[in-house]
Amino acid sequence: MTDCIFCKIAAGEIPSRKVYEDEDILAFHDIKPAAPVHFLIIPKKHIPTLADVAENDIPVMGKIMAVAGKLAKQEGCHDGFRTIVNTGRVGCQEVYHVHIHILGGDKPLGLMLGK
Ligand code: 5GP
Ligand code: ZN
């Protein structure tokens, strides 16, 4: 996808504050943090939304879930965190390249429906 901002971040064409990278996935800090810790994990492959995830995407989506806890701890979430996946218009998704938000810090986050 040439005009996808997260594809450009994955390709290194747009800079990001990287948390983790391997051949399949990338984690980077959200440009507009909504919590003391706020980063995103994406597949490098362009998948528009969670609703578009197909059976052949199971390994990469599984990998995202498998690293989430470790990365959250590494970034300072020592007593839990919140994961959010906004999907489509009703889910108020802004960037149409599937991503999982990891939000946390020291204090409980309360309700976060600020969209
Ligand atoms: P969504 O609403 O699609 O779930 O969330 C998109 C997220 O991407 C937002 O929290 C927004 O701040 C973040 N974002 C948008 N553009 C950029 C960017 O260029 N760099 C980074 N690091 N985050 C971005
Ligand atoms: Zn993309």
What is the CA(10)–ligand 1 centre distance, in A? Answer: 13
Give, as residue ranges, everything with CB less than 5 Å from ion ligand 2: 1, 4, 6-7, 46, 97
- Domains (ranges, CATH) in the chain? 5-104 (3.30.428.10)
Quick one: pLDDT at residue 115?
A: 63
Amino acid residing at 54:
A
Q: In whole angstroms, give the CA distance from residue 111 to residue 100.
A: 17
Quick one: pLDDT at residue 30?
A: 98
Q: In whole angstroms, give the CA distance from residue 91 to residue 94.
A: 9
Q: What is the full per-residue pLDDT of the chain (115 aa) written as tens digits?
A: 679 999 999 999 999 999 999 999 999 999 999 999 999 999 999 999 999 999 999 999 999 999 999 999 999 999 999 999 999 999 999 999 999 999 999 899 987 666 6
Proximal ligand: closest to the CA of 52: 2
The model's pTM is 0.97
